[in-house]
Amino acid sequence: MKTTCSMLLDSFRLTAVDLNEVDPAALHALSISVRWPHRAEDWQMLLTTGRGIAALDEIGRAVGSAMWFPYSDDFASVGMVICLPRLQAHGAGRWLMEQTLAAVGPRALGLNATRASYRLYRAIGFSDEAIVYQLSGSALVPGPRPLPADALLRAAENSDLGAIVALDAHAFGTERSSLLQCLLAASAGTVLSRASKIEAFALCRRFGRGHVIGPIVASDDADAIAVTRPHVVTHAGSFLRVDTRQRDGTFPAFLTESGLAVYDTVTAMSLGGPWLVRGRGEVAAAPKTCFSEPSTELNSGLFPSIDVSPHLLLAIFVFT
């Protein structure tokens, strides 16, 4: 196993190694130990779409992890930053992030910080961008709603990948073709089109205790509700999660009607330049509360709602 760096922590030594050299079962056990909901299958998707390091103790046990997801030469998101609580007070979390920053190079970074990790990221230099509301619960069938004007709704197909990637890039600010190809293959999707052009979509996949919806990309709340509602109906009676930066409005009200309540918040943060407006010259409007990816859990699904003319990234991709 190739060692990248080591640290003497109190009475024992931590060693940083490439995440792909660690048994995925050990990584799953690590996330379970801090009560994160990721399944072994969720870890496998993360390892397919991102890169990372693991911190091993002197007898080879995984005691920490950190991942990054490079979308371009100048931007990456960070997630799955885990450190056993007993090591945090000794600086292990900061050491993990220092190794991560060295590995990602000069890229600007974005992440969603949990309450426990927020002070660390502020100390490293990350800046606040928005609050992300994590909603979950046993899904209820929401009341019927007419489709928005001139809209057609259908299931997403593999042939829609190009249009989905383009729409997502417009909302997110960076193309995520590899990630979206992986998500589309693992998800049930809904697309909304007008005049044969896809103008909104939502993906829903297995995650943690049940299913997560995200990303959700749409031009307004009505379109977002239209592509999200079929997934809520499908999973009525089971656990469903949506993360969003939108606190008020029609879309959050729809999520509440669907049985989803805010159970926690995380903070979207950036280093090296604003995350929520990357790739756009204008300043983003006040974020709306919409679904998640990736707190430093991933992210994954992947990211908070962004008001971008003419499209909103309403739901985040959860990985965290």
Domain boundary among 128, 143, 170: 128
Give the residues of the chain that fall short of pLDDT 70. 1-4, 6-12, 277-320
Q: Considering 109, 128, 147, which residue would you say is the last residue of a domain?
A: 128
Same domain as 256, residue 308: yes
Q: Are residues 140 and 110 in the same domain?
A: no
- What is the rounded CA–CA span in Å between residue 223 and residue 113? 29
Confidence (pLDDT) at 92: 86
**Terminus-to-terminus CA distance in the chain, angstroms?**
26
Residue entry with tokens 């003419």: 310
Is the same domain home to 17 and 118?
A: yes
Domain boundary, last residue among 73, 95, 128:
128
**Confidence at residue 232, expressed as pLDDT on a 0 to 100 scale:** 98
Kindly state whether residues 146 and 255 are assigned to the same domain: yes
Same domain, 280 and 166: yes
Name the pTM for this structure.
0.85
Q: Looking at the structure, tell me whether residues 175 and 246 fall in a common domain.
A: yes
Long-range (24+ apart) CB contacts under 8 A made by 167-171 are 167/198, 167/199, 167/200, 167/201, 167/217, 167/311, 168/215, 168/217, 168/313, 169/279, 170/308, 170/310, 170/311, 171/215, 171/217, 171/306, 171/308, 171/311, 171/312, 171/313
- The C-alpha atoms of residue 49 and residue 223 are separated, in whole angstroms, by 28
Instruction: Clarify whether residues 108 and 162 are in a common domain.
Output: no
The angle formed by the CA atoms of residues 66, 70 and 71, to the nearest 5 degrees, is: 145
Residues 99 and 151 in one domain: no
Instruction: Answer yes or no: do 69 and 95 share one domain.
Output: yes
Owning domain of residue 16:
3-128
Instruction: Looking at the structure, tell me whether residues 114 and 143 fall in a common domain.
Output: no
pLDDT score, position 290: 40
**For the chain, what is the total number of helices (H) and then of strands (E)?**
9, 16
**Based on the structure, what is the number of domains in the chain?**
2
Give pLDDT tens digits for 134-152.
Answer: 999 999 999 999 999 999 9
- Which residues have C-beta within 8 Å of that of residue 108, sequence separation ≥ 6? 74, 75, 76, 270, 271, 272, 273, 275, 278
Q: Do 9 and 101 have their domain in common?
A: yes
Same domain, 204 and 99: no
| CATH number for 43 | 3.40.630.30
